[in-house]
Amino acid sequence: MTKIPDYLEKEQVDELLQAAKTCSERDYLLLRFMWRTGVRVSEVINVTPNDIEFKNGVVNIRKAKGGRQRRVPLDEETLKMLSDYIFALNIPEDRPIFSIKRTQVFNLVKKYGNTAGLKIHPHTLRHSFAINLVRGGTDLRRVQLMLGHSSLSITQVYLQFNDNDLREAYEKVSF
């Protein structure tokens, strides 16, 4: 099994988001969106208001890797922030919400990571999203669908657990 190269604990993600929140609404919302959906950089820069089903709480990832499409749920609070942001900037339905280039996303993640004392890259948020889902009890098939993996074997890497995860599971068992 391949080892997950890097991921953040929830507290570390909170530190990253807080670093962005103090500087820029767009940067904060972009990073929060990536954390809450597990999207790749190439996907987040292509999401338009048309791709978000606000009533259903779902984001349609249309320009995904390999030409595949998928639907990813998104929490109400982030949806509300997105709605307000889109309205405030009057973003057309067919234009990207985050008018930003790939390299800028990499630079933002690095910048706020450094501010929070973390050495990370954008894919770290994707790994963190997946690990968080698995730790929360989401079955692997659903994690696969949300990440848009073509094969369940690719998603299995997220079944790795740290000692605290194992201890927590062990303590739930009554011997």
Quote the number of domains for the chain. Answer: 1
- Tell me whether residue 4 is in a domain: no
Catalytic residues: 40, 65, 123, 126, 149, 158
Per residue in 83-141, pLDDT (tens digit) is: 999 999 999 999 999 999 999 999 999 999 999 999 999 989 988 888 888 888 887 77
Structure-token pair, residue 92: 């057309």
- CATH number at 84 reads 1.10.443.10
Q: Tell me what pLDDT residue 152 has.
A: 65
Structure-token pair, residue 71: 């639907």
- Tell me whether residue 1 is in a domain: no
Helix, strand or coil for residue 133?
helix
- Tell me whether residue 5 is in a domain: no
- Containing structural domain, residue 35: 10-171
Q: Tell me what pLDDT residue 131 has.
A: 85
- Tell me whether residue 45 is in a domain: yes
pTM across the whole model: 0.84
DSSP 32: H
Residues 6+ apart with CB under 8 A from 21: 28
- Which neighbouring-strand residues pair with 70? 61
